[in-house]
A and B are shown apart, each in its own frame.
Chain A
Amino acid sequence: MAAEAQSEGGLVFHPLDQFKIYSLFGENPIQWYTPTNVTLWMALAVFCIVGLFVFGTRGRSVIPTRVQSVAELADGFIYKMVEDVAGCEGVKYFPYIFTVFLFILFSNFLGLIPGSFTPTSHIAVTAILGFGVFICVTVLGFVLNGAHFLGLFWMKDAPLVLRPIIAVIELISYFVRPVSHSIRLAGNIMAGHAVIKVFAAFAPMILISGIGIVVTPVSVLAITAIYGLEVLVAFIQAYVFTILTCVYLKDALHPAH
């Protein structure tokens, strides 16, 4: 990466620098408790959520203000999703799912501010979220259904010969779930941000050589277009993560196919 950057005749390519984690105060090595830019942007997400859901709903008005109706819409949107996908018993777990949704949504959108840091672009964060869902759902499945939870892997309506094979496939796919669940989110967010950064690195070409007359407008346009796409992705990835959580929860609540 660094070698490529040198060869481009003065252009600086550091598309991954935006994901760097550094200590907010001083140069000390990062301990687990060190306040870092991760802390800062997660805290900003918390502030936004508190602003929307605590200060926005402060009026408790029957006829809502704009902010309050946004909060109500978000609440109703996820509540309905949980109810539709996981059923009535799933509603009990709505606060957990809503928390995860809000965290991802606000991290993604705050990450779209130029120069910001996106916690959800880090595999460490999304893996904790993904494996957290996986472990909770698996434990829940066994606690609620006991050994019947294994029925999730044993297809009753398949031919008897195929059942063990299907069971192995189902088992593998079950254990791949948290991996795909977390990599999907981090990968999407990271890729989008990195691509924007690459185009941004091409943008000052006009200062360096004559070909910049073409390259600079094209890269500015590309940044704009990809930024629009990223706005969409920021919401869709939060939505996908949440709806998959609901689907996994449904499997734990009703393991029989």
Chain B
Amino acid sequence: MVTETTVEEAAGAAHGAGSAGMPQLDFSTFPNQIFWLAVTLVVIYFVMTRISLPRIGGVLAERKGVITNDLETAEKLKQKAVLAEAAYNDALARARVEAAKIVGQARADIQKDLDKATAKADAKIAAKVVESEKRINEIRAGALEAVTAVAKNTAKELVSALGGKADAASVNAAVSARLKG
């Protein structure tokens, strides 16, 4: 495609407009390109190996270290939290037991007081009942006597009103017999 003449033309008129052939095949520019390519690659290589890659490597290593440390710290804190939770649960359980004990004691005390009061009240009530019964019996006895006396007197009056002769002793005996029967 490119003959020697075109190459020479291109070489001669590398700057001229409309030169024939592909600039890629203009061999006169090759040394120039190769030289500058070599310079460029060497510069990039040194920038990379001297400055950039060690720096990036350092940053990556540092980041890894930081992350590892942070994870370790997090693990430690987590363990601490677990311990704290256990201690809390322990304290809670102990407090609960204590509370149950106190409640039981209080209940027992109250029961004792209650029993004492109940016993006292029972005794008072019993005494009152006994007294009341005595009085009721007295009243009942009084009433019986009065009824007997009234019955005897009434019987005597009735006998005398009916015209009989009231024999006090026999009337009394008859009334007593009636009252018994």
A interface, CB within 8 angstroms of B: 1-2, 14, 16-17, 19-23, 27, 29-34, 36, 38-39, 42-43, 45-46, 49-50, 53-54, 57, 60-62, 64, 68, 71-72, 75-76, 95-96, 98-100, 102-103, 119, 121-125, 128-129, 186, 190
B33 pairs with A22, CB closer than 8 A: no
- Chain A interface, >50% SS class: helix
Option from B19, B53, B59 in Cβ contact (under 8 Å) with A95: B53
Cβ distance B6 to chain A, nearest Cβ, rounded Å: 11
* Residues of B bordering A, CB below 8 Å: 14-15, 17-20, 22-26, 28-41, 43-45, 47-49, 51-53, 55-56, 58-60, 62-63, 66
Question: Could you tell me if B18 and A14 are in contact, using CB atoms closer than 8 angstroms?
Answer: yes
**Cβ distance B64 to chain A, nearest Cβ, rounded Å:** 10
* A14-B21 Cα distance, complex, nearest whole Å: 11
Q: Tell whether A1 pairs with B20 under 8 Å between CB atoms, given A23-B15, A103-B41, A123-B25.
A: yes
Is B28 within 8 A of A30, CB to CB?
A: yes
Which residues from A are CB-within-8-Å of B55?
57, 60
Cα–Cα, bound, A68→B56 (Å):
9
Cβ-defined partner of B47 (8 Å) among A53, A76, A122, A124: A53
4 further A-B contacts with Cβ under 8 Å, apart from A21-B14, A62-B63, A68-B59, are: A20-B14, A30-B29, A36-B29, A53-B51
Measured CA separation A42–B56 after assembly (Å): 24
Q: Using Cβ atoms and an 8 Å threshold, which residues of chain B touch A46? A: 40, 43-44, 47
Q: Is the CB of B14 within 8 A of A30?
A: yes
B37 touches A128 (CB 8 A): yes
Is the CB–CB distance between B23 and A20 below 8 Å? yes
The reply to whether A72 and B40 form a contact with Cβ atoms under 8 Å apart is no
For B37, give its contact among A14, A75, A125 (CB under 8 Å): A125
Question: Is there contact, CB below 8 Å, between B32 and A53?
Answer: no
Q: Which of A21, A72, A76, A125 has the most chain B CB atoms inside 10 A of its CB?
A: A21
Who on chain A is nearest to B14 by CB? A30
Q: Which 4 residue pairs are nearest across A and B when measured between Cβ atoms?
A: A32-B31, A53-B52, A42-B40, A19-B23
* A95–B48 touching, CB < 8 Å: yes
Q: Which residue of B lies closest to A45 (CB)?
A: B40
Residues of chain A within 8 A (CB-CB) of B59 are 57, 60-62, 64, 68, 72
B47 and A49 contacting across the interface, CB-CB below 8 Å = yes
A54 touches B23 (CB 8 A): no
A124 near B30: Cβ-Cβ < 8 Å: yes
List, in ascending order, chain A residues with CB within 8 A of B53's CB.
75, 95, 98
What CA separation (Å) do A45 and B37 show in the bound complex? 11
Instruction: Find chain B residues with CB under 8 A from A121 CB.
Output: 24
